[in-house]
Structure formats: structure tokens, C-alpha cells
């Protein structure tokens, strides 16, 4: 296994359910490599694609995830069947992951306000600090889920392009402190595992947590769906992960 100056890979394998780590010092996109290597990674699932620097991260739609060294960027490869979720409930995966990210960030920076923004962002005081991208793929007749997670941790957004600097932040920018990326990743992987189990076994508790910590709950929202625009009052999250407007 390659040496990593940013992460203690042995500790991650020992303290989480991850069975294999595909680590690269620098990558265009962890999710992109996860798709490329899916046939090899899926038999070892849960498998993790991890990098210290992601240069062309993928976001929702045509968006890109901008990051520099010090951010936490990874993709988790899972067998879809292992989640025990019916296909119509798979949107809960992204929300459960967002809830896990929020919980971990709140635990390491308790003085800050972290909230989930449907469908796949985590916000700090209303500004983006984390993005999640969930993709379904099939290989050799098996269905796989790739959960891409990007969190701005020890990187500063002060050097980001203008349009990003005003809409995104990092733990370092919020607190002036640096954080142990291995510790954060271990906490996150275990919290994601717990959240996905909750999505299958006790979805109401998960939905209550998401609704309580949702940025949009109680707000008037404008949702763009293709060419259709929907406006209304957000009252929470439905059991299939849809926004209740």
C-alpha cells in the first residue's frame, strides 16, 4: 500500500469497516477513479478511493468541486445490495451521508453551525463546506454505489476563485485550527456506516434528524427541476428523500 503523508492508512483499515484503500497522492477525481476500477474494487467493498489532493472533483450536474491540499476528498464504493434499501429509497443515501458529515463537523467544531442543504451539501453558517455526490453503476451484473465526499478542512478558501471564495468555507477558515485528517476520516466513515444502517432500519429517526438540521426546513424555496421551476414552503424531507414543498 502506498505511503501517505496525510493519512494513516493502517489506522483507517483497523478502525472502520473499509476493507481496501486505493490511495494516490494526487488525483483528478476520486469518483472518476472509483468508476474506472469498479470491477476490481467492488469485490473488496467497502472500498475507499482516497487522495491528498483532488484536481478535478465532480459535483452535481455540470458543477466541479474546487479543492486544494488539506481538503478531505474520497469516494466510498459499496455493494448496493449491502444497504438493504429498495431502489426508491436510494436518494436517502446522499442525505444520510450529509447527516453523517454534519454530525462529525459539529463534533470537532462545536461552536459552529452546520446544516444539511438538500440534496447533497453541508453548510456552515449558510456557506458551503462539504459536497456529496452519489452515483449508481453496474459491473459484472452487480450494482454498486459510489459515494463521493469532499470536505474543506485544513485548506483555506482565501485563494479560491472569486465565485467560490464568497460561497464556500473550510474548518480552518472558520476556526483558525488545523485538524487530523485521519481522525476526521475515521469518525466520518463510522458515522456514514451508522447512518446508512439507520436509513434501512430506522428511517424515521434519520429523517427527523435531517429535517431538524436542514437549512431549508421552514424556508420559502425555489426548486429547479429540468426546465420546470417550483416555488413553495419547505416543511421537511419525505421518506424517499424528496423535499417536501
pLDDT of residue 225: 66
Mean pLDDT of 9-36: 96
pLDDT of residue 1: 46
pLDDT of residue 243: 73
Q: Cα dihedral sign for 116, 120, 123, 126?
A: negative
Helix (H), strand (E), coil (C) string for 62-118: CCEECCCECEEEEEEEEEHHHHCCCHHHCHHHHHHHHHHHHHHHHHHCCCCCEEEEC
pLDDT of 118 over the 70 cut: yes
- 171 versus 161: the higher-pLDDT residue is 171
Cell numbers representing residue 6 in the block = 496525510
Mean pLDDT of 120-142: 94
d(CA 17, CA 100) in angstroms, rounded, equals 15
pLDDT of residue 219: 66
pLDDT of residue 28: 93
Mean pLDDT of 88-93: 88
Is 90 in contact with 156 (CB distance < 8 Å)?
A: no
Residues 62, 244, 169: CA angle, nearest 5 degrees: 45
Is 226 in contact with 111 (CB distance < 8 Å)?
A: no
In the three-class reduction of DSSP (H, G, I as helix; E, B as strand; rest coil), residue 129 is classed as: strand
Mean pLDDT of 40-57: 93
pLDDT of 57 over the 80 cut: no
Q: Which tens digit of pLDDT belongs to each residue from 149-161?
A: 999 999 998 877 7
pLDDT of residue 20: 98
Name residue 243's beta-bridge partners. 237
pLDDT band at 56 (very low <50, low <70, confident <90, very high): confident
Phi, psi dihedral angles at 190 (to 5 degrees): -70, -35
Listing DSSP states for 215-237 in one string gives SSTTSEEEEEETTEEEEEE--EE
Lowest mean pLDDT among 13-27, 49-63, 94-108, 134-148: 49-63
Cell numbers representing residue 217 in the block = 426546513
Q: What percent of the chain has pLDDT over 70?
A: 88
Q: What is the pTM of this model?
A: 0.90
Q: Which tens digit of pLDDT belongs to each residue from 172-221?
A: 999 999 999 999 999 999 999 999 999 999 888 998 899 899 987 776 66
pLDDT of residue 2: 47
pLDDT of residue 96: 95
d(CA 224, CA 208) in angstroms, rounded, equals 25
pLDDT band at 38 (very low <50, low <70, confident <90, very high): very high
d(CA 53, CA 49) in angstroms, rounded, equals 12
pLDDT of residue 199: 92
Amino acid at each position: 500500500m502506498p505511503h501517505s503523508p496525510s493519512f494513516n492508512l493502517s489506522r483507517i483499515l483497523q478502525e472502520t469497516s473499509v476493507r481496501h484503500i486505493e490511495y494516490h497522492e494526487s488525483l483528478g477525481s476520486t469518483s472518476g477513479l472509483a468508476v474506472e476500477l469498479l470491477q476490481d474494487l467492488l469485490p473488496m467493498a467497502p472500498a475507499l478511493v482516497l487522495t491528498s489532493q483532488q484536481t478535478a472533483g465532480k459535483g452535481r450536474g455540470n458543477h466541479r468541486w474546487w479543492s486544494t491540499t488539506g481538503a478531505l476528498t474520497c469516494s466510498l464504493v459499496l455493494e448496493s445490495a449491502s444497504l438493504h434499501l429498495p431502489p426508491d429509497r436510494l436518494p436517502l443515501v446522499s442525505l444520510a451521508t450529509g447527516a453523517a458529515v454534519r454530525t462529525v463537523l459539529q463534533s470537532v467544531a462545536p461552536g459552529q453551525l452546520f446544516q444539511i442543504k438538500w440534496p447533497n451539501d453541508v453548510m456552515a453558517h449558510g456557506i458551503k463546506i462539504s459536497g456529496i455526490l452519489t452515483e449508481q453503476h453496474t459491473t459484472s451484473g452487480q450494482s454498486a454505489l459510489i459515494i463521493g465526499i469532499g470536505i474543506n478542512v485544513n485548506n483555506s478558501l482565501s485563494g479560491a476563485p472569486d465565485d467560490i471564495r464568497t460561497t464556500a468555507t473550510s474548518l480552518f477558515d472558520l476556526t483558525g485550527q488545523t485538524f487530523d485528517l485521519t481522525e476526521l476520516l475515521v469518525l466520518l466513515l463510522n458515522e456514514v456506516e451508522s447512518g446508512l444502517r439507520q436509513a434501512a432500519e430506522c428511517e424515521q429517526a434519520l429523517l427527523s434528524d435531517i429535517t431538524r438540521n436542514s437549512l431549508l426546513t421552514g424556508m420559502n424555496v425555489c426548486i429547479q427541476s429540468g426546465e420546470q421551476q417550483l416555488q413553495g414552503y419547505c416543511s421537511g424531507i419525505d421518506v424517499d428523500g424528496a423535499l417536501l414543498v
